[in-house]
């Protein structure tokens, strides 16, 4: 029960209180680019969540079991971790794409062009790096295998938070499609101002759930 | 396209600063722009790291451009960039530990910054090292301009300071929201709107001048 509560707290704290888009500014490029229609926003959000979970699992295992000096190899190899992380993410995206194309063609059609784009989505690498930075919350040394569970839950929650943010934005942008926006603000300008108002609303959660 | 058709070194340099400003015109690399601009000091540190990585990756890609295999090129760019970012990160951690902590994950996130991969693909993989170098410096200057502008607005209005020095009197009520995430979104939205507005105005004036030049002889 205790474990469940800890994991639930991580979900709320990551998806809502410290939303990746509104507090860490991660994944802004795709947030501004792919938020014109709700169905595309949902596709992008789910694809990001999916890859984030897999990348989080793999990078945690590699980082804690092989690269850390407390790992199996016994050497401090953390200086290559960025190279390893980006390799793992690019590989994970490729594998996920191949797997989905082979076994779930309808899903592949739904994800479409989003999957390859995700490699350069900074939210994925950002989530892995944030897990890596908070050693006392997630590392094997401090938490044992519980660290892995927490890290994966953290990554999934981060992806869900991103999905929430991008779907909210897409719903608003669909509504203002025919609004009379001043010409200099059209496109990026008005999107950023809407994001500001959404971010203000999300500031209201600050301090909740640890 | 042969190499001689592409813009030369001087033009590459000029273009990066305003006409092809990576932030205001191309809307690339937005994450660091919003995340590290609560203060001018972090903005300048970020720009220095981007300068090192972009110059390094552009020069290396340009030197390797004849050996690049088309379907593996993106992988090669990413690995080269990750190597330079690792160097920049280790140097920052050693010499500026406080700023390195303040920048958190955003220095390693330069790896997935679209500006750097974009320049490798558009310029460095097609041109000689010298134009690739000036392009890297020009683009970084444009990036720095955007970052410092945004950071100045946010730090002056939010904390009454610029690079840590007091600029507004204590009587000025500090706009705390400018230092928080909403302030970043608002300031960037308004700055982009101003840049778009001025370029639209210039385009309209140029069109009117052209129209006047073609119409006048017939009237006379």
Pair of tokens at residue A195: 């994001």
In a domain, B18, yes or no: yes
Which residues in chain A have Cβ-Cβ distances shorter than 8 Å to B184?
25
Higher pLDDT, A187 or A175: A175
Q: How many domains does chain B have?
A: 1
User: Residue B219 domain-assigned?
Assistant: no
For residues B113 and B105, what is the distance between their CA atoms, to the nearest angstrom?
13
Written as one string, the DSSP assignment of A67-121 is ISTTSSS-S--GGGHHHHHHHHHHHHHHHHHHHHHHH-HHHHHHHTTHHHHGGG-
Closest to B109 (Cβ–Cβ): which among A87, A126, A203? A126
For the cut 90, the answer to whether the pLDDT of residue A153 exceeds it is yes
Is residue A132 packed enough to be buried (19+ CB in 10 Å), middle (13-18) or exposed (0-12)?
buried
pLDDT of the residue at A52: 93
Where is B165: in which H helix or E strand? strand B165-166
Domain with B15, as residue range(s), is 7-207
pLDDT tens per residue across all 220 residues of chain B: 455 678 888 888 888 888 888 888 888 888 888 999 999 999 999 999 999 999 999 999 999 999 888 888 888 899 999 999 999 999 999 999 999 999 989 999 999 888 898 899 889 999 999 999 999 999 999 999 999 999 999 999 999 999 888 988 888 888 989 999 999 999 999 999 999 999 899 999 999 999 888 876 655 4
ipTM tops 0.95: no
What gap in Å lies between CA B111 and CA B106, rounded to an integer? 9
CB contact under 8 A, B180 and A188: no
With respect to residue B103, please indicate whether it lies within any of the assigned structural domains. yes
Domain ranges of chain A: 13-203
**B56 occurs within a structural domain:** yes
Are A139 and A116 in contact by the 8 Å Cβ rule? The answer is no
Choose among A26, A188, A196: nearest Cβ to B192. A188
Q: Best mutation site among B72, B89, B111, B197 for testing chain A: the one with the most A CBs within 10 Å?
A: B111
Cα–Cα distance list, B179 to A39, A144, B147, B158 (Å): 33, 37, 14, 6
- The reply to whether residue A195 touches residue B185, judged by beta carbons under 8 angstroms, is yes
What number of H helices and E strands is found in chain A?
12, 0
**What does the pLDDT look like over A102-114, one tens digit per residue?**
888 887 887 766 7
pLDDT, tens digit (0-9, with 9 covering 90-100), for A12-63: 999 999 999 999 999 888 888 888 889 888 888 888 998 999 999 999 999 9
Q: Which residues of A touch B23 (CB under 8 A)?
A: none
Question: Closest partner residue to B189 among A25, A192, A200, by Cβ?
Answer: A192
Judged by a CB distance cut-off of 8 A, whether residue A32 touches chain B is yes
Higher pLDDT: B49 or A121? It is B49
State whether A190 and B189 contact (CB < 8 Å): yes
Q: Answer whether A185's CB lies under 8 Å from B193's CB.
A: yes
Question: Would you place residue A127 in the very low, low, confident or very high pLDDT band (cuts 50, 70, 90)?
Answer: very high
């Amino acid at each position: 029960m205790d474990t469940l509560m800890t994991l639930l707290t991580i979900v709320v704290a990551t998806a809502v209180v410290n939303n990746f888009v509104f507090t860490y500014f991660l994944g802004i490029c795709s947030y501004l680019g792919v938020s014109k229609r709700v169905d595309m926003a949902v596709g992008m959000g789910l694809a990001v969540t999916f890859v984030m979970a897999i990348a989080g699992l793999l990078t945690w295992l590699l980082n804690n079991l092989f690269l850390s000096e407390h790992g199996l190899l016994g050497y401090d190899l953390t200086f290559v971790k960025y190279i390893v992380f980006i390799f793992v993410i690019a590989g994970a995206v490729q594998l996920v794409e191949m797997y989905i194309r082979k076994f779930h063609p309808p899903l592949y059609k739904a994800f479409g062009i989003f999957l390859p784009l995700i490699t350069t989505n900074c939210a994925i690498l950002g989530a892995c790096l944030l897990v890596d930075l908070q050693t006392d919350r997630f590392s094997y040394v401090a938490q044992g295998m519980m660290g892995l569970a927490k890290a994966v839950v953290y990554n999934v929650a981060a992806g869900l938070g991103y999905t929430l943010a991008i779907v909210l934005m897409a719903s608003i942008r669909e509504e203002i499609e025919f609004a009379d926006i001043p010409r200099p603000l059209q496109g990026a300008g008005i999107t950023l101002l809407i994001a500001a108002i959404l971010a203000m609303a999300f500031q209201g959660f600050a301090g909740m759930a640890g | 396209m042969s190499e001689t058709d592409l813009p030369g070194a001087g033009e590459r340099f000029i273009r990066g600063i305003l006409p092809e400003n990576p932030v205001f015109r191309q809307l690339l690399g937005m994450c660091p722009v919003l995340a590290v601009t609560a203060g001018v000091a972090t903005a300048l540190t970020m720009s220095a790291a981007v300068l090192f990585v972009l110059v390094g990756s552009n020069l290396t890609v340009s030197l390797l451009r004849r050996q690049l295999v088309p379907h593996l090129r993106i992988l090669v760019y990413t690995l080269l960039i990750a190597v330079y970012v690792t160097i920049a990160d280790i140097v920052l951690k050693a010499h500026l530990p406080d700023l390195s902590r303040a920048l958190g994950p955003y220095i390693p996130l330069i790896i997935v910054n679209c500006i750097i991969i974009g320049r490798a693909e558009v310029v460095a993989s097609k041109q000689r090292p010298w134009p690739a170098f000036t392009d890297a410096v020009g683009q970084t200057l444009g990036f720095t301009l955007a970052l410092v502008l945004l950071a100045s607005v946010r730090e002056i209005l939010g904390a009454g300071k610029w690079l840590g020095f007091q600029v507004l009197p204590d009587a000025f009520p500090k706009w705390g929201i400018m230092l928080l995430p909403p302030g970043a979104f608002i300031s960037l939205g308004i700055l982009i709107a101003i840049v778009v507005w001025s370029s639209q105005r210039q385009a309209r004036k140029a069109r009117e001048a052209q129209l006047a030049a073609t119409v006048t002889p017939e009237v006379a």
